[in-house]
Amino acid sequence: MNKITAADLTGSEKLDLVIGKDAWQTNDLGGKVPSVLVSDGPVGIRSDFDAQRIQHPSALPSVAYPSFEILGQTWDSELAKLYGNCIGDDCIDRNIDVILGPGIDIKRDPLCGRNFEYLSEDPLLSGTLAASYIEGVQEKHVGTCLKHYCCNNSEYERQFCSSEVDERTLNEIYLRNFAWAFEADPWCLMCSYNLVNGVRMSENKPLYDFAYEHGFHGAIMSDWIACKDAVASINAGMSLIMPYEEPRKQELVAGLKDGTIDAEALNTAAQRIINLSNRNEAEKKLRDKSKSLTLEQRRQVAYTAALEGCVLLKNDGVLPLAKDKDIVAAGAPFATYFCGGGSSRVQPELPFISVPAKLSELGYRVEYCDAVWGARAHSTMFGNLKGFYDKALAADAIILGVGSNCDRISEDFDQQDISLSREELVLIDSAVKTGHPVILVVYGGGAVDLSEVKDKVSAILYVGYPGECGSAAIADLLAGVHSPSGRLAETFATLDSFPCTHTYRDHAVNCYSEGLDVGYRHFNSHHVPTLYPFGFGLTYTEFSYSDFRVERDGDGFKVFVTVSNVGQHEAADVIQIYVDDLTRCVYRPGAELKAYKRVNLKPGESTTVELTLNRDAFAYYNVNYHQFVVHPGIFSIELRTDAETVVCSQRVQIEK
């Protein structure tokens, strides 16, 4: 371990240490402090450095895993950890020290261009899955950088707009997920571009203090060019300004000269980078021995994540597909849709193979028609729609790929709407007119308004951005090789149903005036209809529940339920436990998710699931005391199959 401390460095060396050496590495001070190499991610390695740390003109190929949106829809902590293991092994192969992820911002706004990079609209699901991912990566002695801290819930004017959030909402919704993720000890924390309540996040000392007070121990770095005032950022508690920018360096130099940079803050920042370097050097010695997954095994995990994360939204009995049918397939997504745009876009290693091609490999009679050629801006280009219609008339079933590609859903900008394009609606209507079953395979980066089509088609499978192995997973789900078992990690509804679409926003401020009513909390509390609720997902089998009971366990409770697969297909169920405060003394949204577990069952198989609710599960943030508190009262502990559907419940008394 390097025995140098910040006290051993000159002021000039400390300045060099707290700003990047270049776009991707920390400064090594001429060999005094080993540098740390970071990479974009976190759904694959997006780096132009090879294993010898030679920089290439563009990003090198890497396994392209499903988007975090899909990982969120698995509700599978064990898979999230295994996914992290794969990323760790990928980093070892490429000699990467820290992966820039996971991203865990709350899906407040369905228009947000980066929703596909985030896990959920719920802080518990988001924070706990992120913690599992972090554990998985860091088991391989590779670091993670949790992001984007915080309230980066829109790409609109993201570098200049202030997210205006009340204290209680900030703590219950937008910081709670980070607090859960801190339990996994990420090496770094990345600030977001935006301001929060008028203070730029790169300079937000109160929120930096919150992180360190709630279990974070590492170095806070800026998102790339998020730092606008180097001195203010270091004084606030930032440790690393990325990337290197000459104006930022000159600000530091001037601050050291005129005394505006706080000497203690600079010393602390430099020491945290030394600590990061020391930790990295110690962990680096263990990496090769920790690598355990072959490239083929990592691709299998990518396939499994897509398989578990796709959500069956509707099925009138047409799925699984019968093999004695003639099938016509059409839609631009079947060509190349596998990921969203921006810094998480990975160059896949495998050649892209479409869903129709994969179905053909499984023995289905499938003909692909170029009814749609591709997507541009907010429209879709028609191909030979007449030719498709003629062939569809003679078919037995029709599969349509619809949705948005990485040019429509990406970092840097928000969507204009969440509807399917006009051209896709025409394509769907043409298919429906044939009288044959129509199966929609919906790609995209988050909630999609399917209100115009959901009653017209026979089946809907939401696949998001499924990664390079996604087509194989989708084909296996359609064919019934495996049962769909994903559950939505966000609410699907019409755009104007989301409260954020009615709050004030301009070039300077984004008012979170809906408060706690984010996602399903809004729809349940105000009885607003959804298309498909949070936690919803169909399978090819049926589950039954029995022996639901709640037992006191110290300051909390244990919840037990026996779940049985009473259908004909092996599938997974997600046990979702919600808590509702029935005697509330302050406003609380309706029942909130407090525990979950995914279980896989064969036909006829049963298992008893045990989940723990500690006292925190009943707490709310009290703005008078500036902390979470539990008031005595009556609470309903509920087993739900989704945020709207109660299966059984039990009331409990909470005392002081």
* Residue numbers annotated as active site: 223
Tokens (6 digits) for 506:
């301009």
3-state secondary structure 11-55: HHHHHHHCECCCCCECCCHHHCCCCCEEEECCCCCECCECCCCCE
C-alpha to C-alpha distance for 319 and 482, rounded to whole angstroms: 11
Cβ distance 57 to 48 under 8 Å? yes
The tokens describing 201, both together, are: 């996040």
Cα dihedral sign for 535, 540, 545, 550?
negative
8-state DSSP, 58: S
Q: Measured at the alpha carbon of residue 332, what is the angle toward residues 329 and 333, in degrees to the nearest 5?
A: 90
State the first-to-last Cα distance of the chain, in angstroms, to the nearest integer. 49
DSSP state string for 463-525: EES--TTHHHHHHHHHHTSS------SS-B--GGGSGGGGS-B-SSEEE-TTTT--THHHHHH
As a whole number of angstroms, the distance between CA 89 and CA 106 comes to 28
Q: Which residues contact 343 (CB under 8 A, 6 or more apart)?
A: 40, 46, 100, 411
- Rounded Cα gap, residues 486 and 246, in angstroms: 47
| Size of the chain, expressed as the number of residues it contains | 656
Torsion of CA 453, 459, 464, 466, to 10 degrees: -150
Residue 414: how many CB atoms within 10 A of its CB?
18
* DSSP state string for 348-416: BSSPP--HHHHHHHTT-EEEEE-SEEEEETTEEEE--HHHHHHHHHT-SEEEEEEE--TTTSBTTB--S
Peptide bond into 589 cis (omega under 30): no
Are 99 and 144 a contacting pair, CB within 8 Å? yes
Contact call for residues 96 and 45 (beta carbons, < 8 A): yes
CB half-sphere exposure, 299, CA atoms < 13 A: 13
Query: What is d(CA 396, CA 458) in angstroms, rounded to the nearest whole number?
Result: 13
CA distance 482 to 570: 8
CA 5/CA 1 separation, integer angstroms: 11
Omega cis (within 30) before 206: no
Q: Which two tokens stand for residue 377?
A: 């801006």
